[in-house]
Amino acid sequence: MSETGLETTWGRDLNIELDTIDAVLIDEYQSGFPIMERPFRAVGQELDISETNALTRVRQLRETGIFRRFGAVLNPPVIGSSTLAAVSAPEDRFDDIATIINEYRQVNHNYRRDHDWNMWFVVTASAREKRDDILDSIETKTGCDVLKVPMLTDYYIDLEFPVVNTDTFARESVSETDVSATRISEEATGGLSRLEAELLVEIQDGFPLSVTPYHDIATAVESDVDAAAVVDAVDRLRSDGCIKRVGCVVNHIVTGFDANCMVVWNVPDNKLDTYGETVGEFPYVTLCYHRPRRPEQGWSYNLFTMIHGRESSAVDSKIDNLAAEHLPFEHERLYSTETLKQTGARYDELVGTAER
């Protein structure tokens, strides 16, 4: 137990003392942060603290590294065209290839994983053509074949879960999950107005940490708008699915959930939705989606699940259970062993493609 009476396990040696208010901010404001001109005033009233105190606490949690940022979590497959991709990088060139791939602004995540396909990254662009041009360029510059596996069906995707605890795997404290099979188009462009595109570009790295973030955003965009118009636009983008949630984005690695395993399964195509929806409901499954097989590249897997835990043994136990009780199919476990790049998706080209 900490001096504050809060039990937690951190992933690295952080000199952190949390009180109950910090814990609430961390666990209960990853989404649902008020979309209004003075959001920290509303949060302060809910927590019985001042507006300034609420802002200061979020800023300190950001500076400590527990929060990656404050603001909107964008939804790449709705806004533009996004894909997971991988290369098999020779060990003697691994660092050089990672540098080449990471130099693309449109690459927002890149991880080393324990597999022959050892470097996995995400490319997000304003349109499919631009996305595929980047992948072609990566192949040319690295000399590596690129495995491209865009998301085709979303069963469950959400990295929002309690972290102020000693749970061995993520979402252990969550009782249930809402799951549905949502088809994803590779041709998505968002259908954005110019203001919406400008807003998404402006907020892609987070909201300003001030008592008036929406006013600050309004001042920063080119369109002549006030804070109320920005509030309305952000609320509309959230309702339309371009924004998944608004809140404090937690750095799960820092909070101890660093046993990150992507498990890929060879599931019969005619049973994908059945298995995807069933498995996606399990609280310990943090992500569940359908991606295409690539038999010509030796890739036979079509269902992807992610499990985050504090201990690899606990994660392995859950995977064993999945395989024995629910997914009795060929599978492989791709543990993340190194974070090569982790940023928000980049949408700088959106303004040029927006409706005027």
Same domain, 175 and 313: yes
Q: Give me the pLDDT at residue 215, please.
A: 97
Mean pLDDT of 147-152: 96
Q: Give me the pLDDT at residue 13, please.
A: 47
Same domain, 19 and 154: no
Q: Give me the pLDDT at residue 75, please.
A: 85
The tens digit of pLDDT for each residue in 340-355 reads 998 877 776 665 555 4
Q: Give me the pLDDT at residue 354, please.
A: 52
Q: Taking the CB of residue 236, how many other CB atoms lie within 10 A of it?
A: 15
Residue that is last in its domain, among 41, 64, 87 = 64
Domain that holds residue 59: 15-64
Structural domain contains residue 165: yes
Q: Please name every residue paired with 303 in a beta bridge, in sequence order, or none if there are none.
A: 265, 290
The tens digit of pLDDT for each residue in 274-320 reads 999 999 888 889 899 999 999 999 999 999 999 988 888 989 999 99
Q: Burial level of 183, CB count in 10 A (0-12/13-18/19+)?
A: exposed
Q: Taking the CB of residue 21, how many other CB atoms lie within 10 A of it?
A: 16
- pLDDT for residue 265 is more than 60: yes
Structural domain contains residue 267: yes
The tens digit of pLDDT for each residue in 35-51 reads 999 999 999 999 999 99
Strands (E), 114-200: 119-125, 147-149, 153-157, 182-183
Same domain, 304 and 332: yes
* Residue in 323, 338, 82 with CA at minimum distance from that of residue 305: 323
- pLDDT for residue 4 is more than 50: no
Q: Give me the pLDDT at residue 144, please.
A: 98
